[in-house]
């Protein structure tokens, strides 16, 4: 089994010029885990992840781990206000360029290992060709779904 077998194609994508408001629409209307950001040639520029968005609206001293637990503090009103400001930012301003991508020939074992051993938790893995053109996307459950289907077929 390789990446090309387990990936889902036709993922919802955004281009850099779009605003975060467009991203919010996509998030509320479609079931997306992370949104790949691509240019006109479908070449991956980065991803929008919920984790990165939360980082964008949290004060830096919390997001950077200077204080890990803030249960003793009342909620900052700015925290809610920040989401409004975020909506007007462009996708380019908040995209995460440190995404995990694999080639379509990557084995499922390697993909599973990537999910388990990644330094920062990965929402999903992108499948790209050698030009970084987006081919598909693999969520953690995708790996299992395809493996189960394969096992059922064999029996």
Partner 1 sequence: METNLIIALVVFVAVYALLIWDKINRAVVALIGASALVILGVLNQEAAIHGIDFNTIGLLIAMMAIVNICQKTGMFQFMAIKAAKAVGGDPWRILVALSVVTAVLSALLDNVTTVLLTVPITFLITDELKLNPYPYLVAQVFASNIGGTATLIGDPPNIMIGSAVGLAFMDFVYNVGVIVPAILIGTLIPMYFIYGKKLKVSDELKQRIMAFNEKDALQDRVLLKKCLVVLAITIGGFLMQKPLHLEAATIGLFGAAILMLITKEDLHQVMEKAEWTSIFFFLGLFVIVHSLVEVGLIKTFAMKTLELTGGDMKVTGMTILWVSAIASAFIDNIPFVATMIPLIKDMAPGLGGPEAIQSLWWALSLGACLGGNGTLIGASANVVVAGMAHKNGHEMSFVKFTLLAFPLMLISIVISTIYMYFRYFS
By CB under 8 A, name the binding residues for partner 1.
59-61, 64, 66-67, 69-74, 76, 78
Nearer to partner 1, 26 or 58 (CB): 58
Q: Whose Cβ is closer to partner 1: residue 21's or residue 54's?
A: 54
What does DSSP assign to residue 69?
-
Tokens representing residue 42 in the block: 């479908």
Shortest Å distance, C-beta 130 to partner 1: 37
Q: How far is the CB of 36 from partner 1 (least distance, A)?
A: 28
Residue closer to partner 1 by CB (options 66, 116) is 66
For residue 84, the minimal CB distance to partner 1 (Å) is 17
In 13-133, beta strands by DSSP E: 35-38, 44-48, 101-102, 125-128
Instruction: Could you list the beta-strand ranges (E) of the chain.
Output: 35-38, 44-48, 101-102, 125-128, 134-138
């Amino acid at each position: 089994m390789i990446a090309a077998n387990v990936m889902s194609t036709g993922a919802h994508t955004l281009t850099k010029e779009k605003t975060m408001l467009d991203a919010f629409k996509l998030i509320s209307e479609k079931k997306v885990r992370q949104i790949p950001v691509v240019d006109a040639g479908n070449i991956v520029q980065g991803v929008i992840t919920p984790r990165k968005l939360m980082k964008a609206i949290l004060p830096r001293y919390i997001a950077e781990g200077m204080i890990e637990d803030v249960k003793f503090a009342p909620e900052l009103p700015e925290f809610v206000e920040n989401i409004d400001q975020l909506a007007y930012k462009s996708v380019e301003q908040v995209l995460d360029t440190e995404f995990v991508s694999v080639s379509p020939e990557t084995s499922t074992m390697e993909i599973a290992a990537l999910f388990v051993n990644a330094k920062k938790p990965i929402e999903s893995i992108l499948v790209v060709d050698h030009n970084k053109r987006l081919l598909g996307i693999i969520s953690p459950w995708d790996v299992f779904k395809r493996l189960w289907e394969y096992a059922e077929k064999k029996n």
